[in-house]
């Protein structure tokens, strides 16, 4: 009697199971590679948009240092076509500060307390801290008025020279719009071209 020869091949079932495992592995690898490519494209778009935004902010800063701010809020929009990216859009908003900049409020912010002007005058009085009654020095009222006028003028200068600048950069990512907004504050007290 002869012994049966050892099997040298795979059965159809073994081949089908191996192919199913291979197909699942290839599908997983293709999803990973596809996701990696999408992330790479998105990162590249974000990098381009960030560089364009930086350039636009430098351009805005240079423009406002040259001509100063207008007395009202401004907005503008456009594309980066001149920079070779017409698919990327920008929009700017230049907003006046909405805070109270009265003389009393400025002193309150600087000193951290209420009644700052009166406290400042009382501290400057020669009678302060001597144990006697708190009296104000002669001419303190004139000093207070002069100081209040100076601080009011400072508040007006701050209102004219400080703006919040919002730059929004938008681009298409397939069917979706992607965007980010950069918010900064610009200070220009002495523009190079007065009245421009």
Q: Kindly tell me if the per-residue pLDDT of 20 is higher than 90.
A: yes
Clarify whether residues 92 and 109 are in a common domain.
no
Q: Kindly tell me if the per-residue pLDDT of 41 is higher than 90.
A: no
DSSP classification of residue 7: P
Q: Kindly tell me if the per-residue pLDDT of 6 is higher than 60.
A: no
**Exposed / middle / buried, residue 118 (Cβ in 10 Å: 0-12, 13-18, 19+):** middle
The parent domain of residue 138 ranges over: 104-149
Q: Which range is most confident: 1-5, 45-49, 148-152, 188-192?
A: 45-49
Query: Residue 82: what pLDDT?
Result: 92
Q: What is the pTM of this model?
A: 0.63
Clarify whether residues 67 and 19 are in a common domain.
yes
Count of domains for the chain:
2
Clarify whether residues 78 and 139 are in a common domain.
no
Specify the 3-state DSSP secondary structure of 83: helix
Clarify whether residues 68 and 139 are in a common domain.
no
CB under 8 Å to 13, separation ≥6 — which residues?
none
Q: Contact, 127 vs 134, CB < 8 A?
A: yes
Tens of pLDDT along 85-116? 999 999 999 998 776 666 677 767 766 666 65
The dihedral sign for the CA sequence 61, 62, 65, 66 = negative
Query: Residue 97: what pLDDT?
Result: 78
Clarify whether residues 143 and 176 are in a common domain.
no
d(CA 67, CA 97): 19
């Amino acid at each position: 009697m002869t012994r049966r020869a050892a099997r040298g091949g795979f059965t159809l079932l073994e081949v089908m199971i191996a192919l199913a495992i291979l197909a699942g592995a290839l599908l997983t690898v293709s999803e990973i590679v596809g996701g990696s490519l999408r992330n790479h494209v998105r990162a590249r778009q974000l990098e381009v948009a960030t560089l364009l935004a930086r350039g636009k902010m430098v351009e805005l800063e240079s423009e406002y240092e040259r001509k100063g701010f207008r007395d009202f809020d401004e907005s503008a929009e456009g594309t980066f076509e001149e920079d070779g990216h017409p698919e990327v859009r920008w929009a700017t908003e230049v907003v006046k500060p909405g805070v109270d900049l009265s003389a009393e409020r400025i002193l309150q912010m600087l000193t951290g307390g209420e009644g700052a002007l009166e406290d400042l005058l009382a501290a400057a009085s020669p009678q302060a801290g001597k144990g006697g009654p708190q009296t104000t020095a002669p001419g303190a009222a004139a000093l207070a008025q002069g100081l209040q006028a100076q601080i009011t003028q400072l508040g007006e200068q701050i209102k004219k020279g400080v703006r919040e600048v919002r730059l929004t950069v938008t681009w298409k990512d397939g069917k979706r719009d992607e965007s980010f907004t950069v918010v900064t504050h610009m200070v220009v007290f002495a523009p190079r071209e007065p009245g421009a």
